[in-house]
Amino acid sequence: MISRRVFTLTAGSALLAGCVGGAPRMGGVATGSRETPAPRAVPNAGWTTWVQNYRNRAATRGISAGTLDAAFRHAGFLPEVIEKDRNQTEFKRSLEDYLAIAASDERVSLGREMYARYGSVLSAIGARYGVEGNVVCAFWGLESFYGTRRGNVPVISALSTLAYEGRRAAFFESQLDGAMRILQAGDIPADRMLGSWAGAMGHTQFIPTSYLQYAVDFTGDGRRDIWSDDPTDALASTANYVSRTGWQRGLPWGMEVVLPQGFNAGLLGRGKGQSAADWAALGVSRAGGGALAAGSIIAPGGVGTPAFLLTQNFNVILRYNNAENYAIGVGHLADRIIGGGPVRAAFGPDANGLTKADRQDLQRRLTARGFDTGGSDGVIGPKSREAIMAFQKSRGIEANGVPSPALLAALR
């Protein structure tokens, strides 16, 4: 199976498993609703020579001279792409932080709006591919913030730059070939083929080879246009991908569950599946009530923190992006879009000994003192760390940017 993704900054670390979207991303999630400036091309003699040699190789693989001419007419070497490729930060977010971003109030609200706006389209897609509309909408929300962060990097420039740079030359050249075949088929002109710095494209961030395998022309206009402001083809293509990798309509992705007192932690973990009846016999219940399903139970923070029963459909989401937090994020956002509530169980203190309420209080107090954290969502990201460091410097203490109970006490 061809992975849809090239690289992903997952909830754990940078995985060589998927593509990075056009926006700055958190675990495969577009983190805002505005594009960053597109990188600028600069002259590079080595890249120019590489392109000429590539043209010769591509011609032997069936890429026409006209396609190559059109593709490279305005292409160039993008040093910023190399910089991003070499500096993918390994950064682990807790599930609590991940869900705070993946199912933020803004993302849930806009998701409900888009689900209503494209309701008839999503219903038609669901009827053809057997994937619920809210699930498709959740992929859309995480991948590009519902189309607001599709990426503005010229894909031919990005892929040729990465193939020339050589760290994964064969892989990126195969993606460049795929992009050429898309152009040659007439699905998109070269000047509109925009995406992420790593070559992922459209509303739901397909890399070229996966586009060739899964993209569909749902509108019937003769083009599989995942780049258009109209998201129809992109949403249908995602549903096709999910359907063909095993989605079962009517089966939940998973559900939050309540574990009984004294639950055996040895039963936790993906792959340790049991029937719904077996889980019920062990005292497991569904948070908020309702029927259980067959599957495995995980509790990322350990027994006593939020626990989730995961079904086979969870594994299908993992085929889209092989990161546990991402898959929980898609499922949880899908539930929120159709009226579901936040995770019910408390996550408890983080590794620094702070609860979410503590972190929000810390952010509010820093901002009130003039050290802007960019909000008070309880997620300690780069801006919050910069604010912490600035406060620490102002107090003449070690500026490590780490939140702590002592730091919060100093602010109170």
- What CATH code is carried by the domain that includes residue 226? 1.10.8.350
Answer whether residue 267 is part of any domain: yes
Q: Give tens-digit pLDDT for 339-367.
A: 999 999 999 899 899 999 999 999 999 99
Residues 302 and 399 in one domain: no
Instruction: Tell me the per-residue pLDDT of 380-408, one tens digit each, with 9 for 90 and over.
Output: 999 999 999 999 999 999 999 999 999 99
Q: Residue 20: which pLDDT band, with cuts at 50, 70 and 90?
A: very low
Q: Do 18 and 162 lie in a common domain? A: yes
212 within a domain of the structure (yes/no): yes
Alpha-carbon distance of 348 to 12, in angstroms, equals 20
Mean pLDDT of 288-302: 96
> Does one domain contain both 373 and 332?
no
Higher pLDDT, 337 or 27: 337
Give yes or no: residues 258 and 133 share one domain. Answer: no
44 occurs within a structural domain: yes
Distance CA 144, CA 352 (A): 31
Is 347 contained in some domain?
no
349 domain-assigned: no
Per-residue model confidence (pLDDT) at position 12: 30
Question: Among 29, 35, 7, 33, which Cα is nearest to 103's?
Answer: 29
φ/ψ (deg, to 5) at 7: -140, 145
State residue 14's pLDDT score: 28
**What kind and span of H or E run contains 328?**
helix 324-337
pLDDT of residue 37: 84
> Is position 342 within any domain?
no
Q: How far is CA 263 from CA 56, 268, 275, 279, 332, in A?
A: 63, 9, 17, 11, 24
Helix (H) or strand (E) holding 235: helix 232-244
Helices 155-165 and 45-60: crossing angle, nearest 10°?
Answer: 100
Quote the number of domains for the chain: 3
pLDDT at site 140:
98
CA distance 302 to 349: 12
Q: Which of 27-41, 257-271, 297-311, 369-383 has the lowest mean pLDDT?
A: 27-41
Residue 7 pLDDT greater than 70, yes or no: no
CA 239 centroid distance within chain = 16
Dist CA 8 CA 19 (whole Å): 6
Q: 78 and 204, same structural domain?
A: yes
- Per-residue CA distances from 268 to 250, 304, 310 (Å): 25, 12, 11
Q: How many CA atoms lie within 13 A of 387 on its CB side?
A: 26
Q: Between β-strands 307-310 and 254-258, what pairing exists: parallel, antiparallel or unpaired?
A: antiparallel
Q: What is the C-alpha separation between 267 and 10, in angstroms, rounded?
A: 25
Q: What's the rounded Cα separation, in Å, for the pair 362 and 212?
A: 48
320 and 241 together in one domain: no
Q: Are residue 258 and residue 362 in the same domain, yes or no? A: no
Query: What's the sign of the alpha-carbon dihedral 100, 105, 107, 108?
Result: positive
How many whole angstroms separate alpha carbon 55 and alpha carbon 63? 8
In the chain, pLDDT over 70 holds for what percent of residues? 91
Q: What is the mean pLDDT of residues 314-329?
A: 96
Classify 136 as helix, strand or coil: helix
Same domain, 141 and 280: no
What is the predicted pLDDT for the residue at 28?
58
CA geometry: angle at 369 spanning 367 and 375, to 5°? 0
What is the DSSP track for 95-112?
HHHHHHHHT-HHHHHHHH
Q: 302: how many CB neighbours lie within 10 A of its CB?
A: 10
Verify that 91 and 183 share a domain, yes or no. Answer: yes
Which pLDDT tens digit goes with each residue over 116-162? Answer: 999 999 999 999 999 999 999 999 999 999 999 999 999 999 999 99
Whether 201 is covered by a domain: the verdict is yes
End of a domain among 189, 213, 246? 246
| 241 and 273 belong to one structural domain | no
Whether residue 348 is contained in a domain is answered as no
Residue ending a domain, choose from 246, 273, 299: 246
pLDDT band for 70, please (50, 70, 90 cuts).
very high
Which of the four pLDDT bands, split at 50, 70 and 90, describes residue 92? confident
- The answer to whether residue 27 scores a pLDDT higher than 60 is no
Give 186-189's long-range contacts (Cβ < 8 A, gap of 24+).
186/222, 186/223, 187/215, 187/223, 187/224, 187/225, 188/223, 188/225, 188/227, 189/70
Q: Which domain holds residue 262?
A: 254-337
Reading the block at residue 238, the tokens are 């995602």
**pLDDT at residue 256, as a whole number:** 98
Residue 294 sits in the same domain as residue 384: no
162 and 284 housed in the same domain: no
Choose one of 196, 222, 246: the last residue of a domain: 246
